Amino acid sequence: MRTEKKKTRIRVNGKRLAVSILVLLLAVSAVIFVATRIGDAIREKRDANVPDGPDPAVNEPSNGTGSETNPGGNGGTGNDPNGGTAAPDPAETARTYALENGVLMLLNKDHSVDEAYKAADLVSLDEAICCSDRPAETHFLRAEAAEAFAKMIAAAKADGFEIKATTAYRSYGYQNALYTNYVAKYGQEEADRFSAKPGTSEHQSGLASDISAASVDWALTNKFGDTKEGKWIAAHCAEYGFILRYPKEKSEERTGYIYEPWHVRYVTVPVAQEIMNDKLVLEEYLEKYHITQ
Q: Which residues bind Zn ion (CB under 5 A)?
A: 210, 263
Complex with Zn ion: residue 230 or 270, whichever CB lies closer? 230
Q: Report the run of H or E that residue 100 belongs to, with start and end.
A: helix 90-100
Given the complex with Zn ion, which of 95 and 130 has the nearer CB atom? 130
Minimum distance from CB of 254 to Zn ion (Å)?
16
Q: Which is nearer to Zn ion, 139 or 263 (CB)?
A: 263
Rounded least distance, CB 210 to Zn ion, Å? 4
Residue 66 CB contacts under 8 Å (≥ 6 apart), including other chains: none
Residue closer to Zn ion by CB (options 95, 245) is: 245
With beta carbons less than 8 A apart as the criterion, state whether 148 and 242 touch. Answer: yes
**At closest approach, how far in Å is the CB of 66 from Zn ion?**
44
Report how far apart, in Å, the C-alpha atoms of 135 and of each of 131, 152, 174, 179, 184 are: 9, 22, 10, 16, 21
Q: Which residues pair with 212 in a beta bridge?
A: 164
Distances (CA, A) of 229 to 129, 167, 217: 14, 17, 12
Q: How far is the CB of 167 from Zn ion (least distance, A)?
A: 7
Q: Which is nearer to Zn ion, 224 or 285 (CB)?
A: 224
Q: How far is the CB of 263 from Zn ion (least distance, A)?
A: 4
Rounded to the nearest whole angstrom, what is the least distance from the CB of residue 208 to Zn ion in the complex? 6
Identify the bridge partners of residue 208 per DSSP, sorted by sequence position: 265
Minimal CB distance residue for Zn ion: 263
Complex with Zn ion: residue 94 or 131, whichever CB lies closer: 131
Q: How far apart are CA 69 and CA 76, in angstroms?
A: 11
90-100 vs 269-277: helix axis angle to the nearest 10?
A: 110
Contact 238, 273 (CB under 8 A): yes
